[in-house]
Amino acid sequence: MPYFDAASSAPLHPVARQALLTALDEGWADPSRLYREGRRARLLLDAAREAAAEAVGCRPDELVFTPSGTRAVHDGIAGALAGRRRAGRHLIVSAVEHSSVLHAGAAHEADGGTVTEVPVDRTGRVAPGAYAAALREAPGGVALACLQSANHEVGTVQPVAEAAEECAAADVPLLVDAAQSLGWGPTEGNWSLLTASAHKWGGPAGVGLLAVRKGVRFRTVQPADERESGRSPGFENLPAIVAAAASLRAVRAEAAAEAERLRGLVERIRARVPELVPDVEVVGDPERRLPHLVTFSCLYVDGEALLHELDRAEFSVSSGSSCTSSTLTPSHVLRAMGVLSEGNVRVSLPPGTAEADVDRFLAALPGVVAGVRERLGAPKPAEAAADPDPEPEPEPELVVDSLGKRCPIPVIELAKVIGEVPVGGVVTVLADDEAARLDIPAWCEMRGQTYEGERPADRGVAYRVRRRA
């Protein structure tokens, strides 16, 4: 069964498995002890730190291992904010950061700090100069800025080097979440702090990296510990750390060749999906992106149903659709980009993915999408684009009551009736699903209609669409 969700967690690399088993036998002792077994464990830990630091591009004494990538993010942000409290209490992040960064920002706000979210364009990329502008316009002294190296949902690579220069000019440290990109190469630019997670590159789960450059003011906010420079308390999971470092070195040795091969497979998916499936939007930057990841959204499709059907067809993929989450709100990444969220599919290919598996996925996808659309009563592509019968004269305005209905039903009902108003007529959709705020404007852009905005309505929101085509 092809596994196409490496962005969530990559399969364990063979080198990681071998190193893990070896370290279980050799690295079980306390590395802080001076007897033979402890010295052997210390040698393994020091070698792992040196290997990881080389891959990150920092000194070994600047890097500590944490129990997870999320823990690295939380500790990194909290430590930098605490260390620079005198400089100010303002935090700058991009609107498409990983949820761990946004959760840390929310905790900072709850503690009395302030946060600015830097917007992104429709490809999910921060604009040049955006961080410089955010630094200038901050309501108070800025303690820290955060920017991911590449987006975890759409693969867009961020201008980290440029943002780092902008932050350095303002004497503000930049924390980079490199979880998605570190396996493909080092993070460029004059960053101050960096975090990553081993299970994203084929290492074992439960190992994160936190690098803090010398000279960056940092104060650990949790109780101090003698291990990991006092920044990550608790007994080190040495076998997992050894496996994480060994696999990072291995994947980096393979990265150039594998990136070129996977980029070709992803290009095929990006090109073929819109040809094979009507009413699809491929999202993310088409050029400046990770080599193994592609995301697209399908109109008139329930994201959860689509994932279930692809699973039945033996394909494991992920989604940012609101229909796949317990909160029924669309992905904050897709929302910040302003793109379609319904029927969203993220395909992230692990190293070694076979070309035949991608071809089989492309062959299965049209039938899967068509089946889900048919069950939901979605209009056929020809019906959605057809001109209405001019007789009898239609009413110039219609109201569609979609209150209590979840994605993608409000958009399906809009598509079914848009032809019942003349060109220039208006359809008002009443909906209380948060995803409609994103998906109705996205539908208008895809179908050549005019979105005229929203207004409050009883128990929901009224979205106005004027027929232009």
Catalytic site positions: 323
Q: Are 251 and 201 contacting, i.e. CB atoms less than 8 angstroms apart?
A: yes
Q: Are 307 and 378 contacting, i.e. CB atoms less than 8 angstroms apart?
A: no
Please confirm whether the linkage preceding 408 is cis (ω < 30° from 0). yes
The string over 309-333, giving b where at least 16 C-beta atoms fall within 10 Å of a residue's C-beta and e elsewhere, is: bbeebebebbbbbbbbeeeeebbbb
Angle CA(392)–CA(397)–CA(400) in degrees, nearest 5?
110
The whole-angstrom separation of Cα 167 and Cα 176 is: 12
427 alpha-carbon distance from chain centroid: 34
Spatial neighbors of 68 by CB under 8 A, at least 6 apart, are 197, 205, 206, 207, 208
Which of 468, 464, 462 lies closest to 447 in space, CA to CA? 468
Q: Where would I find the H helices in 192-331? A: 238-276, 303-312
Which of 52, 62, 23, 65 lies closest to 245 in space, CA to CA? 52
Three-state DSSP class for residue 458: coil
Which of 151, 388, 372, 364 lies closest to 279 in space, CA to CA? 372
Phi/psi of residue 57, nearest 5 degrees: 95, 40
First-to-last CA distance in the chain?
A: 43
